[in-house]
Each structure stands twice: as C-alpha cells, then as structure tokens.
Amino acid sequence: MSPFLLTRTLPEDATESALREDVLHGLTRSPKTLPPKWFYDARGSALFEEITTLREYYPTRAEREILVARSARIAEITGARTLIELGSGSSEKTRHLIDALPALHTYVPVDVSETALTGAANALVAQRPALDVHALIADFTRGLALPGTPGPRLVAFLGGTIGNLHPAERAAFLSSVRDLLEPGDALLLGTDLVKDESVLVSAYDDASGVTAAFNKNVLSVINRELAGDFDPAAFEHVAVWDREHEWMEMRLRSTTAQTVKIHALDLAVDFAAGEELRTEISAKFREGGVRDELAACGLELTHWWTDERGRFALSLSTVV
C-alpha cells in the first residue's frame, strides 16, 4: 500500500490529447507557438535540473535564499495546517517551508506528472512519516478541486512559473486560486523581478548550451509522441528580452526553409529560413504590478520579501 494518497483528476489520455491540441493549434497559427509545459518529459526535467545549477541561472538560488530566510516568518503569519503546492515537481525547495511549519498536518502537491509526484511524495514521507500527503495528478490551469483538509491553508506557487502565463491567463489563474481560498488562507507566490537585460538573457542562454538543449527537447517530445520528423539540428536556440512587455522569450529559429511532418496529426508544417517558433515567455515583475494583479482578483498582498540582491520575490496574499 502506498504511504501516501494519490488522486488522479486528469483522464488517462489527457496529456496526449492536450499535446495534440497544442501542437495542432500552435503550429498552424502565425507566429508559431508551443506552450512551455511540453519541455518537461524525463530528459527535459533532467536538463532543467541542470539549468538550476548553472552560474547564469539565478532564480532557483534566489528563491531558495528567501525560503531559507523567511519560512519561519511565513509559518508564524499563516499558521498553516495544510500546504498546497501547485506545480510541485520535485518539491525540493518546498522542504524548507514544510520543515518550518510546526502545525502542518497535510501536504497536497499538485502536478501533471505522476512520476514527479510519486518520487517527491515517497521521499517526503520517508522524512516526515507523520505528515499526511495527498498528491493530486491535475492541471491547475484548468480548474482545481481540492481535497478536504484542515485550515488554515497555504497555497504555494513557486519558481516564477506564473511568468509563463500571459496577462489574461494570469488573471484567470489568480481568480481560480482566489476561489479556492477561505478567510484565513493565504497564497505564497514566487515572481522573478525586472532587472538588467544582460543578466536576464544570460540566464536563458547559458554559455554551456544546456538551455539550448532544453529548448530543442520540445521537438524531440513531438517526434516521439506524435510521430514527427523535426530535426533539432535544423533549429537554433534564441533568447530575447521584450522590453515592451517586460518578459523573456525563448524561441527556436529555423536555419533553413523546411517542411516538418507530424504524422499522428496528418500535418505538414512549412518553416521559412529564419522563421521563429516561440516556446516560452517568462514575464518579469515589479512589486506594484504584482500587487495590482492580485488586487484585481480579490487578493491583498500583505508581505513582500526579496533575496539580498533584489532579483526574485516571494509575496504573501490573503483574501480581501
């Protein structure tokens, strides 16, 4: 018997169905796009873990610094008995928060990856056998039904992942989180901050080429899952700062005119030489903007913490 409870709220074929939909829609529009969630197969997840250790990639270290310094204060403010983590992945950074919450009764990690959830939950149960762990296989961007757990509850959305959403998507997501919260509950949100362009571009285009391999991995996912014939070597990794929108973009630029066939969709996709496929946006934030976006969704930002160099922020918000 599993030492933790695992609940699936996604149909067994939901991942394949969503991939087909995203590829068909994204590669037949102009400009071409793909959502970043398809980076994260086993190889992509391993590459991202490697990215987080690179000198150029500061967000993981900066957020961990804040969690180490502020988790006790977060525990004091929230008194959380349930911690719900959206997009939990390995739950590695969250251990600092879990260890600091003396009243914690239940941990609810939420992720689309059963493998990631199982691995993280097993490791956590081994360390904290008295902690109830109720893992959810779910897509939190498409609505979420939470199990009944004791309050107060703290919902954590870390890693700056909210920056992968466009403004309208962020508003819809934050509104859905607000609907989950009751008086006394709180949202802990990780946001990467606006900073010098050279620092940002380096973080998304490291000298060793790990991010380039991570970016191109989405093509390998399509090849494997949808019988595509992308040649990753025929695309180059591009990272650019969009000053107007204050977000980073990752793109794949076709180095030649080519036609890619995706047999499972009976689809042929033409790329012109130099044409770019956008694979990710990563918005960067300012405190006032975060406060305003939260307020528009019925949440009040009550606490704001940054790392010592002011690169990344964690904010705590409650129901208005």
Mean pLDDT by 10 residues, the chain (320 residues): 70 81 96 93 89 96 96 96 87 87 91 79 84 86 82 95 95 94 96 97 97 97 96 98 98 98 98 98 98 97 98 96
Q: Can you give the pLDDT at residue 1?
A: 38
Q: How far is CA 76 from the centre of its chain?
A: 26
Report helix, strand and coil shares of the chain as percent, to nearest 5.
40, 30, 30
- Bridge partners (DSSP) of residue 247 are 242, 283
Helices (H), 101-209: 114-127, 167-180, 197-204
Domains, the chain, ordered by start: 59-195+285-319 (3.40.50.150)
Continuous segment of H or E residues that includes residue 226: helix 210-226
Q: Can you give the pLDDT at residue 112?
A: 78
Q: Is 113 helix (H, G, I), strand (E, B) or coil?
A: coil
Any idea how long the chain is? 320
